[in-house]
Amino acid sequence: MARRRQAVTIKHVAADAGVSLQTVSRVINNEPNVRPEMKERVQEAIDRLGYVPSIAAQRMSGSRSYLILALNDRDRTIADWRARQGTDWVDQMLLGGMLKCAEHGYRMIFELVDTHSDHVEREILAAIAALQPDGIILTPPHSDNPQLVRFLAQQKIPFVRIGSQENGEGIPISMDDEGSARTATRHLISLGHSKIGFISGDPDYALSGWRVDGWQGEMAAAGLPTDGLLEPGDFTYASGERAARRLLESANPPSAIIASNDQMALATLEVARSLGLEVPRDLSVISFDNTPLVHFTQPPLTAIDQPIAATASMAVELIIAAKKGDPRPEALTVISADLVERGSVASCTAGTRG
């Protein structure tokens, strides 16, 4: 019977390289103050022996688990997955977060929690106890949930708040929602639009209000009124449909609409078609998010490209820096978004409504 091959451990690597266990651990964890020749010797031993670092070996360098826990809203995430409509917030989080983790020898684990649950603290405490994460990433709407923020601050674990602007507990990262709404509004104004409608997002998300602020601020700066041009939504297709119909069937309809996410923008396109309006000849439409869906609409949607992957990547960097004892950023970290122009926007002409 063939003899089972013995697993290679950190002890084998240390013996092969002729160094201490602590030195091997420091090389594995990419820690500073390791001489280049020592790194090379240890790496050669790792490659020669086919050693795969374990979490236990990584922890030898100190009280670190090399795990980062990302918390996302349970109900909305499950609804998006079941709908299978191309919403890729989680995909982009994983893209940015996991790749950045891999650069530093970390792993990212995704957990879904219900921010409205009475048991949310117990859920998170159970995850912390099981995983002992080095840091936690909060996504909207958790980012500005006072209960969660206070609770995590008590746990003495570094945490980043994506989509937050409050420079209190935790480390906030803004995706510049207000600035993005200004960019979209300014683009439409530059094309001659003066009646620009806005469909807001779920009020549970602070970023929904910031987007409205950006639209209102840019309209005011251009001396343009906003009365009758704001309709509430909640990020669902149905809410976008209701809001778009109210705007487009009003006595003074807009020539352009900005929707706070792609689902509501898709609904706006459908309502426009049902009313006999051609996009972009009769109505220009800009969306937020830039999920895969917007490439395949007719016409393809101009959209604010939310920098979710870049933001998740930055969140990981900030947690690793905090775990090393680096001071937290004094100023709010802002990851700017881009406006991706496609076929749903055109100049406002004499024949356009508005």
Helix axes 146-155, 120-131, angle to 10 degrees: 30
Closest of 352, 340, 306 to residue 196, by C-alpha: 352
Please, what sign has the CA dihedral across residues 217, 219, 222, 228?
negative
In angstroms, rounded to a whole number, what is the distance separating the alpha carbons of residues 221 and 234? 27
- pLDDT in tens for each of the 354 residues of the chain? 344 445 788 888 889 989 988 888 778 776 767 888 888 898 898 888 888 765 555 554 556 788 999 998 888 888 888 887 777 888 999 999 999 999 988 999 998 988 776 778 888 888 888 888 999 999 988 888 888 888 888 888 899 999 888 767 899 999 999 999 999 999 999 999 999 999 999 998 889 999 999 999 999 999 999 999 999 999 999 999 999 999 999 999 999 999 999 999 999 999 999 999 999 999 999 999 898 888 889 999 999 999 999 999 999 999 999 988 888 888 889 999 999 999 999 998 744 555
Quote the pLDDT of residue 2. Answer: 41
**What global pTM score does this model have?**
0.78
In angstroms, rounded to a whole number, what is the distance separating the alpha carbons of residues 45 and 253? 71
Quote the pLDDT of residue 270. Answer: 96
Domains in the chain: ranges and CATH: 10-59 (1.10.260.40), 67-175+307-323 (3.40.50.2300), 181-305 (3.40.50.2300)
Tokens 């674990």 map to which residue? 157
The DSSP string of 330-343 is: SSPEE---EEE--T
Residue 334 CA, chain-centre distance (Å), reads 12
Tokens 């690793």 map to which residue? 320
